[in-house]
Amino acid sequence: MNMKKKQIVDAAYTLFIEKGYAATSIQDILDRAKISKGTFYNYFTSKGECLRGILEAIAEETEIKRRQAATGEQINDAAVLSEQIAIRLRINKERKLFPLFESIFHSEDAELKAFAKQLHFSEIYWLAGRITDVYGEQAAPFALENSALVLGTIQHLIHLHAANATSEMSAERLTDFVLRRMEASLVDQLQTNDTFLPFTLREFQTEQPNALLEIHARARTLADKSEDQQTGQLLSFIADELKEPNPRTHLIGSVVTTLENDGILTPEFSHDIRQALTES
């Protein structure tokens, strides 16, 4: 992320935490970041897109730390999964994300609400996949509902702890406890075949949307790392379009060709983008 964009994001994030999303105006962000309105609109089309950029950056940070936690470890190590879940809890606390998400759901911004919901479901899908990694293919039919149970239990235990406890909550102790409870439940499910959802994670998610989401994440990462403003805007355009229900393939194709010719995109990544759009 280039310095000017980071300056805007940092100012907006601070204001959203201090005043709340709804109470913060674009003018507030301009004043705090000491920038002009034109500079703001060079990077974001709205206050909502600015918040979306903040949440995407935090999601990327979470993903990176989770990959680091798993580096060199066995994919079926339950302790690694516990740590990966705890990473999200620590980041949520450090970044004060709970008030941010609450302000989103109380706002009138339907697009931003949809984005927050998408982030929530992405976390459920990620955990369902990791449950299958850790507990084997036999757990796959129950992974999605157990993912929801784990995340829901964690959320409510956090609220109960905050309301009654006098000591600091340990994210690691919480995730270890909830996973132990889930494991006990899973053993029973494997024996009784007791399930609630009439579909599995694989049935619920098609392969293609996952490919588009992965390409979106790669394009967003390149955009944030770009030091050239125009290049960053073109990469952001690709990332944003890939999140749309009906991405404008002809425009994306034109931008991809431009960036490939300029040496910004590798031929392999350009091919992946075009292939995913063709199959969507």
Same domain for 7 and 71, yes or no, is no
Domain that holds residue 230: 211-277
Q: What is the pLDDT of residue 263?
A: 82
CA neighbours closer than 13 Å in the CB half-sphere of residue 251: 12
Structurally, the chain folds into a number of domains equal to: 3
Tell me: the pLDDT tens digits for 230-244? 888 898 888 888 877
Share of the chain above pLDDT 70, in %: 95
* pLDDT exceeds 90 at position 25: yes
| CATH for 9 | 1.10.10.60
**Over residues 214-227, mean pLDDT:** 78
Same domain for 84 and 165, yes or no, is yes
Same domain for 40 and 157, yes or no, is no
Tell me: the pLDDT tens digits for 105-139? 888 777 788 788 888 888 998 999 999 999 999 99
Tell me: the pLDDT tens digits for 36-90? 999 999 888 889 889 988 888 888 889 899 999 999 999 999 999 999 999 999 9
Name every residue whose Cβ is closer than 8 Å to that of residue 51 and which is 6 or more positions away in sequence: 12, 16, 21, 100, 104, 112
111 is written with which tokens? Answer: 């697009």
Same domain for 94 and 177, yes or no, is yes
Handedness of CA 166, 172, 174, 177 (dihedral sign): negative
Q: What does the alpha-carbon distance between residue 82 and residue 111 come to, in Å, rounded to a whole number? A: 32
Same domain for 234 and 259, yes or no, is yes
Average pLDDT, the chain: 87
Q: Maximum distance among all alpha carbons in the chain?
A: 63
